[in-house]
Chains A and B, each alone.
Chain A
């Protein structure tokens, strides 16, 4: 097949690519792809990876204070999974010819973004449950369609990630269920956390379709399979019965079932807040980046040591041979 592709001109390569996309075939790292497709994917996968890594911080905030050893173990395992997801995704991005350290530099240099949601603070332990239920729930809505993304390495990473995310979501929901069966204070904590995370979760799907310039092209390339607003609607439709089962209310007076549409109507998120958060002025943007940068910079001597030791070992083996 390579020999055929070698003889093709740009127009034919483009046509070949378009046909494969149209037939829902996977694009693999060595295949020809338009430069825009490659760049879009690098940006999206890198930002996805960064989100996993920065996303460890709000939950990590409660690791040393988790109120039972079982919850501590569950949370520790979850945060560990997130580091693993970050690794899968950086590897997927590397198949497109970028380097993980380069992407990390871009993250800590504020040249690449991560999900807006992780700029919100975790103020009580109920936040841990609500992050599982709503934030991981929204992530799953976003990510399940990515298991069919046109770029093979990304799609395969997403299959593994989605499986683990669904356990995390279950864990979070189960924590909330347990808390709702507990004391009045615990129930208040769950309601308060729901109130604080509901709108930021809706904003995880990105701006409204009218303000989302890249969506159309990403859908043509089958990097994205649904628009932001479609996914947001789906998330609301699924979350309402879960909130009812839990016994909490969602903080939206406009939320009601629309018989005609067969969907829930809901209020408008505060898009000006989303813009502020994305621009770096959310409640925790600064702390998140400072922490990530500090870990990276303070670890430099350790990474240097590992590289130097590996070089010494290689030299010694060379001499021995």
Chain B
């Protein structure tokens, strides 16, 4: 770069394109240029619901992690948590875009993120409560990343090539997220008395929302049958195995908290959430909704 004119970058053509701004922040739709034809025999509306489920999980988890920015215990963790939030936001953008195409509505990622109400969100309840302390955030991230990594490893084989590609990219990111959370769970569990107690409390606090992750709903079943989705019940054993290893290494006790009931059996995947999601969305959507005609 020039040492004389600091403003050159504003007007000079950037040969590498704007990709260096931040991964996945180009001007085009995230899936621009990708063949988005659905595989034969896949119902577009159901597939869109499926992508929304996975996309909403990432969007809400990302929003919560973002709240840590400027509040983390150490600069390195500030960076790591922001980095994970950015990865998950990238996954959400791709999955929401895919959903908007698959259901034929033409809604883009922003219409889906900013102009749906909480009853239309399809994320699991695990990702929506407030962060709690660092230990609770780590516990939730460990559970979330372990579960999602197991799911995505299988989704990389999806009959839908777009979903398969999104999952394959996500696997690399989620492996890092799981590693980060597992290392901190061990440091905190096998750290001081205070950190041990807090890590145990954090794990106990998130545990009631774990069973919901493995309960297939009608959309899951339909997508498994069509060869594009994965049955979450099938990843339970892998999840339990990883969590057991981490819990043991962290000298923690396995939580025995009961699963949180739904409402007439309906939970996050059905749009029946905790009371926290409404506030989270009010904040996330406030500016976009105040200026529905605006482009940013």
| A309 interface contact, C-beta 8 A | yes
- Which residues on the A side are within 8 Å of B6 (C-beta)? 137, 140-141, 144, 166, 169, 238
With A78-B22, A295-B73, A301-B195 as known contacts, state yes or no: A68 contacts B288, CB within 8 Å: yes
| B284 interface contact, C-beta 8 A | yes
Question: Which residues in window 175-227 of A have CB below 8 A to B?
Answer: 175, 178-179, 181-183, 185-186
* CB-based contact B3/A64 at 8 Å: no
* CB-based contact A67/B24 at 8 Å: no
- Which residues on the B side are within 8 Å of A67 (C-beta)? 114, 287-288, 291, 294, 296
| A53 interface contact, C-beta 8 A | yes
- A169–B10 Cα distance when bound, in Å, is 7
- A166–B295 Cα distance when bound, in Å, is 24
- A65–B186 Cα distance when bound, in Å, is 33
Binary B-proximity of A223-238 (CB < 8 A = 1, otherwise 0):
0000000000000001
Question: Which residues in window 276-309 of A have CB below 8 A to B?
Answer: 291-292, 294-295, 298-306, 308-309
- A238–B93 Cα distance when bound, in Å, is 36
- A216–B195 Cα distance when bound, in Å, is 51
Question: Which residues in window 238-294 of B have CB below 8 A to A?
Answer: 283-284, 286-288, 291, 293-294
| A70 interface contact, C-beta 8 A | yes
| A251 interface contact, C-beta 8 A | no
Report the interface size class on chain B. 35 or more
Binary A-proximity of B34-49 (CB < 8 A = 1, otherwise 0):
0000000000000000
| A98 interface contact, C-beta 8 A | no
Binary A-proximity of B192-203 (CB < 8 A = 1, otherwise 0):
101100100000
- A186–B76 Cα distance when bound, in Å, is 36
Taking the closest CB of chain A, its distance from the CB of B187, in whole angstroms, is 4
Main secondary structure of the interface of A (DSSP, over half): helix
* CB-based contact B293/A77 at 8 Å: no
Greatest chain A CB density within 10 A among B70, B283, B288 is at: B70
| B181 interface contact, C-beta 8 A | no
Binary A-proximity of B72-96 (CB < 8 A = 1, otherwise 0):
1111111100110110011011001
Question: Which residues in window 127-165 of B have CB below 8 A to A?
Answer: 133-134
* CB-based contact A74/B21 at 8 Å: yes
- Which residues on the B side are within 8 Å of A78 (C-beta)? 22
- A186–B92 Cα distance when bound, in Å, is 27
- A71–B22 Cα distance when bound, in Å, is 10
- A238–B75 Cα distance when bound, in Å, is 34
* CB-based contact B3/A148 at 8 Å: yes
With CB as the reference atom, state the residue of chain A lying closest to B188.
A305
- A238–B7 Cα distance when bound, in Å, is 7
* CB-based contact B291/A166 at 8 Å: no
With CB as the reference atom, state the residue of chain B lying closest to A80.
B82
A73 touches which of B10, B22, B293 (Cβ 8 Å) = B22
* CB-based contact A76/B3 at 8 Å: no
* CB-based contact B63/A64 at 8 Å: yes
Taking the closest CB of chain B, its distance from the CB of A149, in whole angstroms, is 12
* CB-based contact B66/A63 at 8 Å: yes
Report which B residues bind A (CB closer than 8 A).
1, 3, 5-7, 9-10, 14, 20-25, 59, 63, 66-67, 69-79, 82-83, 85-86, 89-90, 92-93, 96, 109-110, 113-114, 133-134, 186-188, 190-192, 194-195, 198, 283-284, 286-288, 291, 293-296
Report which A residues bind B (CB closer than 8 A).
53, 56-57, 60, 63-74, 76-80, 83-84, 86-87, 90, 125, 137, 140-141, 144-145, 147-148, 162-163, 166-167, 169-171, 173, 175, 178-179, 181-183, 185-186, 238-239, 242, 291-292, 294-295, 298-306, 308-309, 312
13 contacts between A and B (CB under 8 A): A56-B78, A57-B70, A67-B114, A67-B287, A69-B89, A77-B23, A80-B82, A80-B83, A179-B294, A302-B74, A302-B134, A304-B192, A305-B187
Closest 3 CB pairs of A and B: A299-B73, A305-B191, A77-B22
